[in-house]
Amino acid sequence: MRKHTLIILAVLLAGTLAAQTKLQLNPGGYHGELDYPMSWKRYYAYEEWTKIMRDLQQKYPQLCDIQSIGKSRMGRDQMLLTITAKATGKPETKRAMWVDGAIHGNEVNGITCSLYLAWYLLTRYDYDPFVHGIVDSTTFYVLPGLNVDANDSYVRFPNTENNPREPYRPVDDDGDGLFDEDQSEDVDGDGELSDMYVEDPDGGFKLTPDKRRFVSVEDPREEVKRFRRVGAEGFDNDGDGLINEDDIGGPDPNRNFPYGWTIADGYPYPMSEAETRNVFEFQLGLSNIFASFHYHNTGRLIMFQAPPAVQTQAPAGAGAEYAQRAQQIAQQRLEALRKRDKYIYRAPRQVAPEYQHDLDVQNEIVSAGARILKDFTPTIGGLSGQAHAATYYMFGAYSYLIELWGDPTSEADIDGDGEVSDEEMMKWIDLELMGEGWVMPHKAKHPDLGEVWIGGTSRKHIGRTPPARYIELEALRQTNFVLYAASQFPKIEFGEIKVTPATDDLYWVEVEVKNDKAYPTSSDRAVALRRAVMDKITVGAGGSCEIVAVPKAQTAVDPWNRAAQSEVVAAAGTEFRLKGHETKRFCALVRLKGSEGTVEFAVKSKMGGAAAKKITLKMD
């Protein structure tokens, strides 16, 4: 065999990065925040946040589209932003991240977090290379407020933290034959819904010495003015002797999705609510959703969808010992990992082999999320008709339900016992909220009860949704997590090239195709659903090169190195799937007839982008 020296020129053909006009290299410098100034110190009502969306879209039309995906029960449009750099491709041609907030009407923290994400992407695109790269390659569908009727009411009207939560389908909660007839009201017109007490010598409550709270009477012999707790603030609208027993709001919207739907939780029927049906119908029309985030309050949880658990029979005898030992070893390994990284999470679930990669990917992503969000706990999300169960199990998209905020435990727990006592809570409100958070007990007139005392509870936006000073902090770190996940969306690239002479004029040309990101180019679930579009590699020759047809199979180019086999690229192209952090090797048998020729590999991946590599073979 004669050896020829070959000069190989490889040119990576990839989409050239669009020029960043205002690239900011100083991390502490200006990144466009004032190009569209926004206050993150408040919550926005429906008219306000939709106006912000329209304004943003008008300011960044080359990055952003806006549309209504349908109307709510009371006729409000659910407004959605589609964000991507149109210059690099249409939104439906790129892999997409879906983000929605406030499916539960009172969990409006999700609106600010989603809106912040949109604002961050749009204002920083020209300045921030990280954002620029993501917005070029990825589409974001952002629906800040999903349950728009309840969202608007929660922000604009006096409400407790718990309502309105559901869409406004009339439901007879108390079984008296009337629908939504006894709702909570602001009895004293102070703009807050609190608790009501009545002076009663036999009552079980008393005022604290500072007159700020009602507490239980511990010692029955104590001589103190006593109160009886009536309940939440409101009138007895239907005269049945009960107050607020049938408030507005019907079926739980996050039990209304089709996957895992049950009649017990998801009453009345799947997709019965216009607000949720509009979302799902819109998603059905898209084939490019790769991952989704759904915002809720509260609890500091990263609930992620995992593949179905495999039911393993409890082994008996020697098998039981083995299983126990295996569990111990797994536990030890986890602890060792945690010594390096205290945020590492491993899901306590066994899955079938064809789903193992999805579980591994989720472990990796939520571990990083726990680190980014600092005090959030990853946990496996349930089915039961939840939105993110549908996204994963029906579309194969990696989905996350984020329970934002949480009781201000780490903030308020100053004695470090892991609990927030009433006193600690009051201290926190006084010191850190500058007196904003409390309804002081005061007298008021009630048409049914006579004279009542109202107060002794926190205001809205303390427990379930964060107070103003925390809005931006929460929004920024959530955006951080979403963008981390987006940055880990699969990216298909070419790696090393290797040319091995076979004989006279035949050469094996091998290329590495790799995905260095955490997510695969298709999820295991998408493959199981037969929704996954396989990646495809094709090869062509030019000049005096020609491809020699050999059967498609794993080929040992170097028979002494079977570990490094490559797959021959078929004439019509070869389909494959790249998992996260995976590299595959492909090869073609090339005949160099003359002195110079080219071989070009091209890969296309629905979710992983595209790449091409041209190799020039030159005879010396």
Residues in contact with another protein by CB under 8 A are 73-74, 149, 153, 157, 168-181, 183-186, 235, 237-242, 245-246, 248, 258, 261, 263-264, 267-272, 280, 284, 308, 393-394, 447, 529
Give the CA angle between residues 486, 404, 462 to the nearest 5°.
150
Alpha-carbon gap, residue 52 to 49, rounded angstroms: 5
Closest CA to 396 of 535, 559, 581, 530: 530
Of 243 and 539, which has the nearer Cβ to another protein?
243
Closest CA to 144 of 64, 50, 73: 50
Of 65 and 240, which has the nearer Cβ to another protein?
240
Min separation Cβ 286 and another protein, Å:
13
Alpha-carbon gap, residue 607 to 500, rounded angstroms: 32
Closest CA to 544 of 476, 590, 502: 590
Residue 118: enclosing H or E segment and its boundaries? helix 109-124
Min separation Cβ 107 and another protein, Å:
18
Of 152 and 505, which has the nearer Cβ to another protein?
152
Of 385 and 455, which has the nearer Cβ to another protein?
385
Of 268 and 315, which has the nearer Cβ to another protein?
268
Alpha-carbon gap, residue 541 to 592, rounded angstroms: 10
> Any bridge partners for residue 439, and if so which?
457
C-beta separation of 183 from 164 below 8 A = no
Burial class (CB in 10 A: 0-12, 13-18, 19+), 178: middle
Alpha-carbon 583 to chain mean position: 27
Min separation Cβ 41 and another protein, Å:
25
Min separation Cβ 89 and another protein, Å:
20
Alpha-carbon gap, residue 377 to 464, rounded angstroms: 17
Sign of the CA dihedral running 225, 228, 230, 231: positive
Residue 332, phi then psi, degrees to nearest 5: -65, -40
Of 393 and 601, which has the nearer Cβ to another protein?
393
C-beta separation of 538 from 586 below 8 A = no
Of 161 and 173, which has the nearer Cβ to another protein?
173
Give the CA angle between residues 555, 558, 563 to the nearest 5°.
70
Min separation Cβ 173 and another protein, Å:
5
Min separation Cβ 40 and another protein, Å:
26
Retrieve residue 501's tokens: 């002479």
- Which residues have C-beta within 8 Å of that of residue 44, sequence separation ≥ 6? 52, 111, 112, 115, 155
Of 88 and 384, which has the nearer Cβ to another protein?
384
CB atoms within 10 A of CB 326: 10
Of 88 and 162, which has the nearer Cβ to another protein?
162
Min separation Cβ 234 and another protein, Å:
9
Retrieve residue 107's tokens: 């969990």
Min separation Cβ 195 and another protein, Å:
17
Min separation Cβ 511 and another protein, Å:
32
CB atoms within 10 A of CB 64: 25
Min separation Cβ 168 and another protein, Å:
4
Of 273 and 510, which has the nearer Cβ to another protein?
273
